[in-house]
Amino acid sequence: MQTQPSPEPKPVTDWWRPDLVALPELTLARKLFRVFGRGLAKLTTLVTMSATVSGIENFPRRGPALVVINHLGDADVVLLAASIPITIDGMGKIELNEHWLVGPIFRAYGVIYVHRGRPDRKAIRAALEGLSQGRLIALAPEGRQSVQGGLEEGTEGAAFLAMKTGALIVPVAMTGTENENIYNRKWWKRARVTLAVGKPFYLQENNDRQLMLREGTKQIMASLAELLPESYRGRFRQMI
């Protein structure tokens, strides 16, 4: 049987800007922009994608909760924002702050930036603070966009946040958002995409914190794999 090639190493942010890392303040202007942004995401999804959404009844209306997603492409964020019933917070790589289009949008919306591949304590503190306030925070436990089109090994950040706060975990799995038609503006060929919200759950308790962290990460990734067709399960194909 042909073995799956090893993925590239996880990326490491090559510049350090802790001054950009903070929990977004929910000002009136930001709340209004988030409502506007959600409407724009709905319009973008309607124009560029043919979406099938399931399990929305599983999505909580209040937190604290961690919304964990698989990461196939930039359109993941658009499809997520368009599909879920409320606006939520999110974590994203700090490099996006410098993008000519995404940067201004993220600054207006309010994102918890993360320095990938480093112990970013300020980002962790911001996320913990948000969860303590009862917010819902979305993040991709893979730590990057999949380079093989299927689930990769998860990093331990999501499990750590859940372990520290006891927050509910909401798995959301997407397919089709890697389709080049979305990004090449071939919108007359709307990409077929799906979004599925799984049953929320809590991490299984364990007195051994390190073991709980490792097993919790596996539990999170398995919850995503269960929502995906086999061709998207990647390294977790054999677990389901």
* CB neighbour list of residue 38: distance below 8 Å, 6 or more residues apart: 81, 82, 87
Domains of the chain: 21-235 (3.40.1130.10)
pTM for the full model? Answer: 0.93
Q: What DSSP state is assigned to residue 78?
A: H
d(CA 47, CA 132): 37
Measured CA to CA, the distance from residue 76 to residue 142 in angstroms comes to: 13
Omega of the bond leading into 11 within 30 degrees of 0 (cis): no
User: Tens of pLDDT along 157-208?
Assistant: 999 999 999 999 999 999 999 988 777 776 668 889 999 999 999 998 888 8
Res 1: pLDDT: 32
Query: In this structure, are strands 168-175 and 112-114 parallel, antiparallel, or unpaired?
Result: unpaired
Cα–Cα dist 98/120, whole Å: 19
Residue 155 CB partners (closer than 8 Å, separation 6+): 10, 141, 142, 143, 217
Residue 135 CA to residue 66 CA, distance in Å, equals 9
- pLDDT (tens digit per residue) in 63-111: 999 999 999 999 999 999 999 999 999 999 999 999 899 999 999 999 9
How far is the C-alpha of 203 from the C-alpha of 220, rounded, in Å? 8
pLDDT (mean) for 14-20: 87
The two tokens of residue 188 are 């007359």
Residue 206's pLDDT is 86
Measured distance CA(135)–CA(62) in Å, rounded: 7
Cα–Cα–Cα angle for 22, 109, 171, rounded to 5 degrees = 80
Distance of alpha carbon 65 from alpha carbon 75, whole angstroms = 22
CA dihedral 217, 55, 96, 149 (to 10 degrees): 70
Give the whole-number percent of the chain exceeding pLDDT 90: 77
Whether residue 38 has pLDDT greater than 80: yes
